[in-house]
Amino acid sequence: MTRVTEMMGRKTRKWVIVCALAILVLAGSGIAAFLLLRNGGNEPPPFERKIKPAKEFVLPPLPEPKLGLDIPAGQENRSVIGDFQFRIDPSDYPVVPETLNVYEYVRAIETEEQFRSMAAKFGVQGIMEKSGNFYVIHDGDKKFRYWFTEERVMYSDEEVQRRPTEKPDIPSQEQCRTIAWNLMEKMGLLPPEAEIIGEATDGGSLRAKGLDDVIFERSVEIGRRLDGYPIRGPGMEMWVSLGDKGELASFDSSIRPLKLFGTYKVKSVEEALEDARKGNGTMNLDPDIPNPTVNKISIMYYADPSDPENRLLQPVYSIVGQCCIYVPATKD
């Protein structure tokens, strides 16, 4: 009897648990149905984000600028294995000026008034919030942010980004270049000596709906020149991304104003090559390739990754081929 009673007790407890779970499921379904009906029967109510207004717009102080490239770990001061194998003649070397300028970055946004003015260019208005290392304004599906640690200005329109559920109407790459350029010019965001330096696409597959791979966005990269020399690197560029019907989907810019820091004498090409061989203050992106070929040597400005620690925009010799080595062009 005891064994039978024990088994019956286990069955009873099991059924109690099952019934309790069923009640919870029904209750959850009832709540979901209630919320759905309360929202007009169309879709669940949207998530309500809690707004935390920023008390004030305050930026951390900037460090003193200093010469020298900001070089990723493992690529700094790495000497060349063996020696260069030249595929160019000395006649192909760049014309070397006697002096070159070094510039100091100025913050793109320094006050709340500038922050709101920039946001208004994108049609974004509202309460300013601070989250970690950026200030942000949410305006419906639109969002404008200023990352003050990375010195990047960013905008996004989630409605445009999520719109294409079928094959979107995306302009051609050439049309996107024109649209992006004209839009930035109209908004007053084109930098001096601006130029288009790259492009990209963001695509996906809708084969389940009988469509081939499609493009959801096309992005145009805009940079600038300085004193006639190109600027390359992640610290001075803007990406303009266009979505359905060529509408602005997002914007990401690290382009900042500049002020003159100083004028310095310039190394010769031979001095720069010797520094590259020895790894004297250089950034060698391919340090493990022995006897690398060299196809081109040029002078440009290299923009370090946008970061408050990197205050200077400096001219460099770019040595490329099987290698990619940046050598500071100025004599300290």
Q: Which of 21-35, 83-97, 122-136 has the weakest average pLDDT? A: 21-35
Query: Would you state the pLDDT for residue 3?
Result: 37
pLDDT at 185: 97
Which residues neighbour 330 within 8 Å (Cβ) at sequence distance 6 or greater? 67, 100, 102, 264, 265, 266, 267, 314, 315
**Which stretch of 72-81, 189-198, 239-248 has the lowest confidence by average pLDDT?**
72-81
How many CA atoms within 13 Å lie on the side-chain side of 315? 30
Residue 1: pLDDT over 70: no
pLDDT at 69 over 60: yes
Would you kindly state where each structural domain of the chain is located, as residue ranges?
1-48, 85-104+262-328, 107-256
Q: In this predicted structure, which of 14-28, 107-121, 187-201, 305-319 has the lowest mean pLDDT?
A: 14-28
User: Is the predicted pLDDT of residue 323 greater than 70, yes or no?
Assistant: yes
Residue 207: the pLDDT is 42
- Out of 67-76, 106-115, 142-151, 316-325, which region has the weakest mean confidence (pLDDT)? 67-76
H or E stretch covering 177? helix 173-186
The percentage of the chain sitting over the pLDDT mark of 90, rounded to a whole number, equals 62
Question: Higher pLDDT residue, 87 or 51?
Answer: 87
Q: pTM of the entire structure?
A: 0.79
The domain 107-256 is classified under which CATH number: 3.30.70.1230, 1.25.50.10, 3.30.70.2740, 3.30.310.160?
3.30.310.160
203-236 pLDDT, tens digit per residue, is: 654 444 444 566 788 999 999 999 999 999 888 9
Model confidence at 308, pLDDT cuts 50, 70, 90, reads low
Query: Between these two residues, 207 and 130, which has the higher pLDDT value?
Result: 130
- Confidence (pLDDT) at 34: 43
Does position 276 have pLDDT exceeding 90, yes or no?
yes
Q: How would DSSP label each residue in 248-306? A: EEEEEE----EEEEEEEEB--HHHHHHHHHHTSS-EES-TT-BS-EEEEEEEEEE-PPS
List of residues 6+ apart from 318 with CB closer than 8 A: 232, 296, 297, 298, 299, 300, 302, 324, 325, 326
Arithmetic mean of pLDDT over the chain: 84
What are the tens digits of pLDDT across the range 11-39?
Answer: 444 444 444 444 444 445 444 444 444 44
What is the model's pLDDT at position 119?
98
pLDDT surpassing 50 at residue 41:
no
- The reported pLDDT for the residue numbered 261 is 96
Mean pLDDT, residues 121-126: 97
